[in-house]
Amino acid sequence: MMPKLPLRRAAVLPVPALGGPAPLRVPSPGRFTLRNGLRVIVVPWSTLPQVGIRLLFPAGSVGDPDGLQGTASFVGSMLTEGTHLRSAEELNAQLDRLGASLGVQVGHDFTEVDLFLLSETLPEAIRLLAEVVRSPSFPAAETERIRAETLDSLEARDDEPANVADDALAAALYGPDHPYGVLSDGTVEGVEAVTRDALVDFHSRHYRPSGAVLLVAGHFDEATLRAVLEECFGDWTGSAAVPSYPAAPTPLPSETLAIGWPEAAQGEIRFGGLGMPRTSADWVPAALANYLLGGSTITGRLGANLREDKGWTYGIRSGFSAAVQSGGWVIETAVDAAVIEGAVTEILQELHRLVSEPVDDDELRRAKDALILSLPRAFETPGRIIGRFGALEAFGLPLDYWDRFPSAVESVTPDDIRRVAHTYFHPDVLTRVIVGPQ
């Protein structure tokens, strides 16, 4: 039998004191313009030997020719499908050799070409980026493959109630003649009609240096970067075509669109309305009001009600879309078919409460802290840095926007919350879409 060891009193360690919030350190970007008019934004960030690059073009779906909706997205997909020097396979092999990744995102207003790489491969990677954006070859076989994949994707959207709800809401808010009312991927009819000549023409008009912005963040030598950029882009000329926007949409009277889906076990619910241009002075108070309502699926009022209290949904959120014109604002959730009516009622009650009742000081304080204290994370990686500064360049926001953001949030009052809530969240100006079995 083992002898019993004497018991010892466990040491009681003091509870560690909570540290203060991370300080906001907004990087100071450098700016210069190449001789061909290409604006360059550089943000040194030396934590890791990585670099993020974004080329931003005014080449979104707003520029799609009439009857050829989907041209911008089609061109974006074709950038990595072969150049006049390399096939798609050779491009991918070169990216693999460099340990780099290249992606293209096409929205309604802009096209973003993103390249992430290791610092040591910077010159070779920039040469490859220039090749991709300047000289895509639009090979016939790859063009037809991308067309078929896009058509399959567009047709498959109608098989998902969530997609049907999203598309119906956009169409109701913007109508058939505004680009924001159509997916940036285009329409089946538009993609079917796009010719190779239309792709080449769109690229020639919109992918030009003057009017574009190149952002670089990470660990690099600026003199080397300038030299490589001049080598790869200096002889590239021309001004990007300026997209022509239709008249901005106006808010519509409230309506409800019910779309039957007999076999659905759940109902997709959307409440949506017109937001504001990203440059609007209402953006910060409206973002704060939105956070209170549904910016957080757990702590927002909608989440606290429908998810935490009633257990009707896994998540409910709301948010604005940043856009040149009035981007949309939407509440989105899915609930069991049996509680669709109850969920709609609760959403309406939360909307009326935010519109008509003053916000409690403690609740407003928590929302402000959430927006301000999360901001340092927005500048932690090259990808996040180019995203934040890319927004400033895309929408023409002040260069010190992020430095002033905390004070802008702090200045929002309960009266501001009620004012923007009445403007953008009032049920009388929101369209409801319900896709479900009843």
**CA-based end-to-end distance of the chain:** 73
pTM of the model: 0.91
The residue among 69, 263, 269, 294 whose CA lies nearest residue 169 is 269
Among positive and negative, which fits the CA dihedral 262, 267, 273, 276? negative
The DSSP string of 29-88 is -EEEE-TTS-EEEEEE--SSSEEEEEEEES-SGGGPPTT-TTHHHHHHHHTTSBBSS-BH
What is the structure's pLDDT at 24? 75
The DSSP string of 306-345 is IIIIS---S-EEEEEPP-SS--EEEEEEEEEGGGHHHHHH
Distance CA 431, CA 173 (A): 7
**Burial code of 126-144, b = ≥16 C-beta within 10 A, e = fewer?**
bebbbbbbbebbbbeebbe
The residue among 330, 392, 391, 323 whose CA lies nearest residue 61 is 323
Q: Return per-residue pLDDT of the chain as tens, 438 residues.
A: 556 666 666 667 777 776 666 677 888 899 999 999 999 999 998 888 999 999 999 999 999 999 999 999 999 999 999 999 999 999 999 999 999 999 999 999 999 999 999 999 999 999 999 999 999 999 999 999 999 999 999 999 999 999 999 999 999 999 888 999 999 999 999 999 999 999 999 999 999 999 999 999 999 999 999 999 999 999 999 999 988 899 888 887 889 999 999 988 999 999 999 999 999 999 999 999 999 999 887 889 999 999 999 999 999 999 999 999 999 999 999 999 999 999 999 999 999 999 999 999 999 999 999 999 999 999 999 999 999 999 999 999 999 999 999 999 999 999 999 999 999 999 999 999 999 997
What is the structure's pLDDT at 18? 67
Average pLDDT, the chain: 93
The DSSP string of 367-430 is HHHHHHHTGGGGGSSHHHHHHHHHHHHHHT--TTHHHHHHHHHHT--HHHHHHHHHHHT-GGG-
H or E element at residue 196:
helix 196-206
Distance CA 368, CA 409 (A): 6
Phi, psi at residue 183, to the nearest 5°?
Answer: -55, 145
What is the structure's pLDDT at 283? 97
The 10s digit of each residue's pLDDT in 156-188 is 999 999 999 999 999 999 988 899 999 999 999
Beta bridge partners of 273: 329
CB 248 within 8 A of CB 280: no
Q: For residue 337, which amino acid is it?
A: A
What is the structure's pLDDT at 254? 84
What does the domain layout of the chain look like in residue ranges? Answer: 30-233, 255-436
| Angle, alpha carbons 320-323-325 (nearest 5°) | 110
Strand 39-44 to strand 328-336: parallel, antiparallel, or no bridges (unpaired)? unpaired
Phi, psi at residue 68, to the nearest 5°?
Answer: -125, 45
| Same CATH fold assignment for domains 30-233 and 255-436 | yes
Superfamily designation of domain 255-436: Metalloenzyme, LuxS/M16 peptidase-like (3.30.830.10)
**Topology, domain 30-233:** Cytochrome Bc1 Complex; Chain A, domain 1 (3.30.830)
What is the structure's pLDDT at 1? 56
